[in-house]
Chains A and B, each alone.
Chain A
């Protein structure tokens, strides 16, 4: 079993919909990262969380340390949000080495 599991693997939404991507992990962590990858390869860090909730524009990320679960929400989705969203955890015993989920492919249709 992978240490970091994301769901769903693929998601198609209509423009304007509220989107949720989930991440569950099975190890102790010092932080969790949400990353965005557009076609062409480059990856951008969206959030780094160790507790609670963070918001940036239409994106909201939450984490529940006790349940080992995090969610990424996109409000009022737009076609430009189409990308791969990747959850990654910073395991306590390995410092800043990340373990990555397989990613969620999001497509937002207009």
Chain B
């Protein structure tokens, strides 16, 4: 079975802290994605990557950065966490035109 693993399920961070959310997939997928999900807004794309060291901005990249040093790992970085970044973050991976696989989600609370 394809597995997309997010390192942290629940996090509480203070305003201004640097936050790392890690995602690892085990199926050699080229494409990896970070989304956030908020009530009433659905899933919104933050960043995505089609290859190692390649990244592209999604719809809401402000306040976030990403890193993809290895094909299996895609990290989301909040340089200086703010309360409006409290959300559920979902990582996903896929091969072009094939099924997309999601992680279990990371619930981040910024206080």
Mutual binders A and B = yes
Q: Beyond A41-B105, A97-B58, is A33–B100 a contact (Cβ under 8 Å)? A: yes
* Min C-beta distance of A108 to chain B, whole Å: 21
* Min C-beta distance of B33 to chain A, whole Å: 8
Number of interface residues of A (CB under 8 A): 22
Chain A residues within CB distance 8 Å of chain B: 30-31, 33, 35, 40-45, 48, 86, 88, 90, 95-98, 100-103
Chain B residues within CB distance 8 Å of chain A: 31, 33, 37, 40-45, 48, 50, 58, 88, 90, 92, 94, 96-105, 107
- Give every chain B residue within 8 A of A43 (Cβ-Cβ): 90, 92, 102, 105
Are A86 and B97 in contact, CB atoms less than 8 angstroms apart?
no
Chain B interface main SS type: strand
B88 contact from A41, A97, A102, Cβ within 8 A: A41
* Min C-beta distance of B36 to chain A, whole Å: 12
Once the chains are docked, how many angstroms separate the CA of A45 from the CA of B98?
11
B42 contact from A33, A42, A86, Cβ within 8 A: A86
- Give every chain A residue within 8 A of B105 (Cβ-Cβ): 40-43
Q: Beyond A41-B104, A42-B104, is A48–B42 a contact (Cβ under 8 Å)? A: no
Are A44 and B97 in contact, CB atoms less than 8 angstroms apart?
no
- Give every chain B residue within 8 A of A31 (Cβ-Cβ): 97
Nearest opposing residue in chain B for A9, CB measure: B40
* Min C-beta distance of B40 to chain A, whole Å: 7
Counting chain A CB atoms within 10 Å of each CB, the highest count among B40, B43, B90 belongs to B43
